Amino acid sequence: MQHILHDSRRFMKTNMVAIVAYFVPLFLLPFSLYLFSIILRRSSDDRKKLPAGSRGWPVLGENLKFAHSPEKFVTEKMSKHSPDIFQTSLLGEKMATFCGAKGNKFLFSNENKLFASWWPQSLRKVLWFPQTNSTYNRILHRDVLSPEALKKFVPVMDALAREHMTRHWRPNTVVKVLPLSKIYTFELACRLFMSVVDPRRVKKIYDPFSEVTRGILSVPVDLPGTAYRRAIRAGGFIRAELMRIVEQRRKEMQRDFLSKMVMLRDEDGDFLNEKKICNEIIVMLLASYDTTSSAITGVINHLAQFPHIYNEVFKEQMAIAESKGPGELLTWDDIEKMKYSWNVARESLRLMPPAVGAFREATTEFTYAGFTIPKGWKTFWTVHSTHKNPDCFPEPERFDPSRFEGSGPAPYTFVPFGGGPRMCPGKEYARLELLVMMHNVVTRFRLEKTIPNEKIVYHATSTPVHGLPLRLHPHQK
Ligand code: HEM
């Protein structure tokens, strides 16, 4: 027995040695290869001329500096490192920021060649159903934001703007423009994108939205008490509510916007499933909410600030109002007459841009302005490298709508909606909404700021710190 045990122990020992001798190199080999590849990559990265810049703190990167003032961040980096491109670290990623009209042109013209769309992890996790791996489906742009669809939106926008004037914009009171613009924008999106009109149902989705917008561009650290954790929870709630609406609509099959989506097919010819539709709706709600309400607030801010600009807009809008019968709603043709007002809106978008820019991923290694951008790096373009750049807009701080007369600003300098194939698909929708709101406010009231030099800060979008309180003076009849 002893002998057998001893033999078997010796046998096991010999085998263990054999096993170890066999397996250790098996594990070590890939490990050493991995180490070797890191060293190789390091040294090849060292040989490359990467864009100059800094990466800030581990994990946090330069997020805090950027969030504090994106405009200052970009301007300082451009003058310190290069007017063409600099590197930084944002949202946990190494990032090359392309600057100036040249940088915008390069990025917008190489869409799908050198760059692919990229959405930060924080945004994806908060917003979408993870299983669907969906971001944004450009079929939507073609079908549901088509010129024919947009033409039908104008009277709906006007009807809701009038409802809002009666409900919230009372003569001789002080109103806060920013929160009111947010409610209008969101109610409009719910009405147009989902036929959800019931204010209680709108409120159910609206309330968690502010949590989402606060958390999506935060550092993605999912810990109790963080804005990111709250945004994830709010995102889950919104998805559940939207799923109920989409499922119900699929059953009813009404001929509205959402029903059109229910009938859409993806690239493989399959109908979009409910989760994908929810993802699409969330993108549309989010993309239209903060941006457009900030744009409305910006325009009204400038109208209240510059009486000579207000007077010109007033003349244009009153001529349109007087051409219409009592109670007759605005149409597409009316919008086409609002030329001066649109120049004013664009000048306001230049000085108070609602979106800072957007991200991409480099799909291959390439060089730009003498610097190497390695494959897999994230890239960023930003309105702040051109909108207030005196080379693109002389006396950039001056509010001057005439910059948009004739052929307007030089190409790739005025980019509040981006450019190239990925340009914002909601640009026309935003234009209509802005002009309809300008019409409704200006034809009813003269505007007086109660805080004359209210500070504008950046909270996910350009924001007056006190929400832009205004006194509304009705016109004398
Ligand atoms: C004044 C209001 C708005 C501004 C300033 C704005 C600005 C932008 C910008 C800068 C981008 C990024 C473009 C890029 O990736 O290069 C974008 C993307 C997008 N916007 Fe807008 N937007 C506005 C309103 C809207 C509205 C009303 C909608 C929907 C109805 C919308 C839907 C989208 C979508 C879906 C994308 C993603 C497009 C893609 O990745 O292909 N936006 N927007």
Predicted local confidence at residue 293, as pLDDT: 96
| Atom number of ligand 1 nearest to Cα 434 | 1
Residue with the two structure tokens 């263990």: 16
Protein residue closest via CA to atom 6 of ligand 1: 417
Find out whether the beta carbon of 416 lies less than 6 Å from any atom of ligand 1. Answer: yes
Find out whether the beta carbon of 360 lies less than 6 Å from any atom of ligand 1. Answer: no
**pLDDT digit string (tens) for 438-448?**
999 999 999 99
- Cβ atoms of 310 and 446 within 8 Å: the answer is yes
Predicted local confidence at residue 8, as pLDDT: 44
**pLDDT digit string (tens) for 370-382?**
999 999 999 999 9
First to last CA, the chain: 116
Top mutation candidate among 291, 352, 381, 387 for ligand 1, by most atoms within 8 Å of CB: 291
- Look at residue 35 and tell me whether its pLDDT is greater than 80: no
Is 122-474 CATH 1.10.630.10? yes
Protein residue closest via CA to atom 9 of ligand 1: 417
| Atom number of ligand 1 nearest to Cα 193 | 30
Q: Is 363 exposed, middle or buried (0-12, 13-18, 19+ CB in 10 A)?
A: middle
Closest by Cα among 271, 263, 220, 213 to 238: 213
Mean predicted confidence (pLDDT) in 398-403: 98
Find out whether the beta carbon of 355 lies less than 6 Å from any atom of ligand 1. Answer: yes
| Atom number of ligand 1 nearest to Cα 108 | 16
**pLDDT digit string (tens) for 20-30?**
444 444 444 44
| Atom number of ligand 1 nearest to Cα 353 | 5
Looking at 22-26, 42-46, 137-141, 204-208, which range is the least confident one?
22-26
- Look at residue 335 and tell me whether its pLDDT is greater than 50: yes
Find out whether the beta carbon of 298 lies less than 6 Å from any atom of ligand 1. Answer: no
- Look at residue 12 and tell me whether its pLDDT is greater than 60: no
Protein residue closest via CA to atom 21 of ligand 1: 424
Mean predicted confidence (pLDDT) in 126-144: 63
- Look at residue 298 and tell me whether its pLDDT is greater than 90: yes
**pLDDT digit string (tens) for 167-191?**
999 999 999 999 999 999 999 999 9
Q: How is residue 102 written in tokens?
A: 């040249």
Q: How is residue 85 written in tokens?
A: 């491109």
- Cα of 380 from ligand 1 centre, angstroms: 15
Closest by Cα among 418, 417, 411 to 102: 411
| Atom number of ligand 1 nearest to Cα 295 | 1
- Look at residue 134 and tell me whether its pLDDT is greater than 70: no
- Cα of 147 from ligand 1 centre, angstroms: 17
Q: Does 97 or 33 have the greater pLDDT score? A: 97
- Cα of 358 from ligand 1 centre, angstroms: 9
Mean predicted confidence (pLDDT) in 76-102: 95
Q: How far apart, in Å, are the Cα atoms of 335 and each of 30, 294, 339, 438?
A: 65, 20, 8, 11
**pLDDT digit string (tens) for 416-428?**
999 999 999 999 9
Could you list the residues known to form a binding site for heme, using ranges: 424
- Look at residue 16 and tell me whether its pLDDT is greater than 50: no
Predicted local confidence at residue 2, as pLDDT: 40
Predicted local confidence at residue 31, as pLDDT: 45
**pLDDT digit string (tens) for 215-266?**
876 777 788 988 889 989 998 999 899 888 888 877 775 556 666 776 676 7
Predicted local confidence at residue 7, as pLDDT: 45
Instruction: Round to whole Å and give the CA distance between 324 and 314.
Output: 16
Find out whether the beta carbon of 431 lies less than 6 Å from any atom of ligand 1. Answer: no
Protein residue closest via CA to atom 16 of ligand 1: 418
Protein residue closest via CA to atom 43 of ligand 1: 424
| Angle at alpha carbon of residue 280, lines to 274 and 283, rounded to 5° | 140
Domain ranges within the chain, ordered by starting residue: 122-474
For every residue of 120-168, DSSP letters joined together read: -HHHHHHHS-GGG-----THHHHHHT-HHHHHHHHHHHHHHHHHHHHHT
Residues 6+ apart with CB under 8 A from 385: 74, 78, 97, 98, 99, 100, 103, 104
Side-chain-side CA neighbours of 114 within 13 Å: the count stands at: 16
- Look at residue 131 and tell me whether its pLDDT is greater than 60: no
Q: How far apart, in Å, are the Cα atoms of 39 and each of 35, 43, 266?
A: 6, 6, 43
Predicted local confidence at residue 89, as pLDDT: 93
Find out whether the beta carbon of 285 lies less than 6 Å from any atom of ligand 1. Answer: no
